[in-house]
Structure 1
Amino acid sequence: MKKLKNLMLVALIGMSVLGTWSCNNEELYEEPVAVVEDESNEDVDDAVTDVNSLCDFTLENLEANSTVVVNCIIDLQGESLDLPENVTLLYEGGDIINGTLVFSEGSSIDGDLLGNTLEVGGTKPALRDTAFTFDPKRWGIIEGIVSDEVARNNRDILENTMILAKEYGIDTFKIDEMDAYFNVVEIKANYRPSQAGITLPSDLHLIMSDNTNLRVQPNNYKTVALLGFYLTDNVIVEGGNLYGDRDSHDYSDGGTHEWGHTITLDGSKNITIKNVKSFNATGDGISIGSYGHAYDSHYRYCDNILITGNTISKNRRNGISIGDGRNIVIDNNTFIDNGVDTALSKGTQPRMAIDVEPANSGGVIFQIANNITISNNTESGAQSLSFYIASGNDILIENNNTEGSISYWHAYNCIIRNNTITGVTEAHKIQTGISCGSHALETSNYNNKIYGNKVTGYLIGLSVVSRDIEVYENEFIDCFEGIALSELYDSKIYKNIITSSVPRSRGITTKIPAKILNNVIISENKIDVVLSAFGFYDINLDNDDYKFEIINNDVKSEGTSGLSLLNGLTFNNNIVDGGLRLVGTLNSVISNNTISTNGAIGIDLSSLNDNIEVFGNMVSIEGSASV
Structure 2
Amino acid sequence: MLLFVSLVFMFISCDDDQVLDGFLNGDDENSEIIDPDPEPGTDDPYNVITDAVDIPCDYDFTTTTVNASLNISCDYDLKGQRISLPDGVKLNFDGGKITNGSLVFSSKGVIDGQLLNIDLQVEGDLAIEHPHFIFVPSRWDMVQGKTTDDKAFQNKENLNTAIELTHDLGMEVFEIDKLDAYFFGRRLTSHAPFSYEDNSIKVPSNTHFLMSDNTFIRVQPTNNPFSRLLMTFKAQNVIIEGGNLVGDRYLHDYSNVTDETGVSRNTHGYGSLVNIAGSQNITVDNVNIYEGEGDGVLVQISAIRNTDGSIKPGEMESSNVVIKNSLIDKCRRNNFSIIDANGVIIENNVISNAGGEDESGQDYAGTAPEVGIDLEAYRERRADGSLYKYERVTNVTIRNNKFVGNDVADVIVYTASFVDIIGNTFDNRVGVHAGHDVKIANNEFTAGDRITTQIAVSFDNFIVNDTEHLTYNIEVTGNTISGYDTSMKVGTQNVTVSENKLYDFVTGINITDIENAQISNNTLESNRSVSYGYFSRGNSIAKNVTIKGDKISVQHRPIYLNDLNKRLSGSVDRLLFDNCTFLSNRELYIYNSKNITIQNSEISERVEAVNSENIVLTNNQIL
Give the deviation of 1:392 after TM superposition.
Answer: 1.4
Greater mean alpha carbon deviation, residues 235-244 or residues 263-272: 263-272
Give the deviation of 1:34 after TM superposition.
Answer: 5.8
The residue aligned with 1:86 is 88
1:456 aligns with 2:476: no
Q: C-alpha deviations, 1:503-544, integer Å up to 9, x for none? A: 11111111x214211111011001111001111121222322
1:33 and 1:401, CA in 2 relative to 1: closer, same or farther beyond 3 A?
A: closer
SS at match of 1:251: coil
**What's the Cα RMSD here?**
2.2
Task: Supply the AA of the counterpart residue of 2:544.
Answer: N
1:244 aligns with 2:247: yes
SS at match of 2:371: coil
The residue aligned with 1:305 is 321
1:57 and 1:519, CA in 2 relative to 1: closer, same or farther beyond 3 A?
A: same
Q: C-alpha deviations, 1:282-328, integer Å up to 9, x for none? A: 11101111222221634532111111111001000110001111111
Mapped contact 2:590–2:609 kept (Cα < 8 A)? yes
Greater mean alpha carbon deviation, residues 179-188 or residues 162-171: 179-188
The residue aligned with 1:515 is 540
Give the deviation of 1:199 after TM superposition.
Answer: 2.1
1:147 and 1:34, CA in 2 relative to 1: closer, same or farther beyond 3 A?
A: closer
Alignment partner for residue 76 of structure 1, among 75, 78, 82?
78
1:141 aligns with 2:142: yes
Task: Supply the AA of the counterpart residue of 1:416.
Answer: I
Alignment partner for residue 197 of structure 1, among 194, 197, 200?
200
Q: C-alpha deviations, 1:350-391, integer Å up to 9, x for none? A: 111000011112122221111110111001011110011012
Give the deviation of 1:461 after TM superposition.
Answer: 0.3
Partner Cα separation in structure 1 for residue 52 and residue 320 of structure 2:
49
Task: Supply the AA of the counterpart residue of 2:115.
Answer: L
Give the deviation of 1:260 after TM superposition.
Answer: 1.1
Alignment of 1:218-617 (within 5 A): 218-253=221-256, 255-295=266-306, 297-298=312-313, 299-341=315-357, 343=360, 344=362, 345-362=364-381, 363-425=387-449, 427=451, 431-439=454-462, 442-510=468-536, 512-542=537-567, 543-545=569-571, 546-596=573-623
Task: Supply the AA of the counterpart residue of 1:93.
Answer: G
Partner Cα separation in structure 2 for residue 277 and residue 349 of structure 1:
23
Mapped contact 1:58–1:74 kept (Cα < 8 A)? no
1:189 and 1:281, CA in 2 relative to 1: closer, same or farther beyond 3 A?
A: closer
Give me the TM-score of the superposition, normalised by structure 1. 0.84
The residue aligned with 1:10 is none
SS at match of 2:471: coil
Task: Supply the AA of the counterpart residue of 1:492.
Answer: Q
Mapped contact 1:185–1:193 kept (Cα < 8 A)? no
Equivalent pairs, count: 551
Q: Runs of 5+ in structure 2 lacking a partner?
A: 5-49, 257-264, 382-386
Alignment partner for residue 68 of structure 2, among 66, 69, 82?
66
Mapped contact 1:485–1:514 kept (Cα < 8 A)? no
Greater mean alpha carbon deviation, residues 258-267 or residues 80-89: 80-89
Partner Cα separation in structure 2 for residue 146 and residue 553 of structure 1:
67
Partner Cα separation in structure 1 for residue 83 and residue 493 of structure 2:
75
Give the deviation of 1:33 after TM superposition.
Answer: 6.3
Partner Cα separation in structure 2 for residue 575 and residue 365 of structure 1:
50
Task: Supply the AA of the counterpart residue of 1:463.
Answer: K
1:314 and 1:151, CA in 2 relative to 1: closer, same or farther beyond 3 A?
A: same
Q: C-alpha deviations, 1:259-286, integer Å up to 9, x for none? A: 0111112222111111111111111101
SS at match of 1:386: strand
Give the deviation of 1:565 after TM superposition.
Answer: 1.4
Partner Cα separation in structure 2 for residue 501 and residue 411 of structure 1:
34
Give me the TM-score of the superposition, normalised by structure 2. 0.85
1:470 and 1:34, CA in 2 relative to 1: closer, same or farther beyond 3 A?
A: closer
Partner Cα separation in structure 2 for residue 221 and residue 144 of structure 1:
20
Partner Cα separation in structure 2 for residue 591 and residue 166 of structure 1:
75
Partner Cα separation in structure 1 for residue 406 and residue 51 of structure 2:
63
1:100 and 1:138, CA in 2 relative to 1: closer, same or farther beyond 3 A?
A: same
SS at match of 1:304: strand
Alignment of 1:91-170 (within 5 A): 91-121=93-123, 123-170=124-171
| Percent of aligned positions that are identical | 30
Partner Cα separation in structure 2 for residue 313 and residue 223 of structure 1:
19
Bigger relative CO (Cα 8 Å, ≥ 6 apart): 2
Task: Supply the AA of the counterpart residue of 1:305.
Answer: V
Task: Supply the AA of the counterpart residue of 1:35.
Answer: V
Alignment partner for residue 35 of structure 1, among 22, 31, 53?
53
Give the deviation of 1:402 after TM superposition.
Answer: 1.2
Partner Cα separation in structure 2 for residue 287 and residue 351 of structure 1:
14
Give the deviation of 1:57 after TM superposition.
Answer: 3.8
Moved over 4 A (4+): 17-20, 187-191
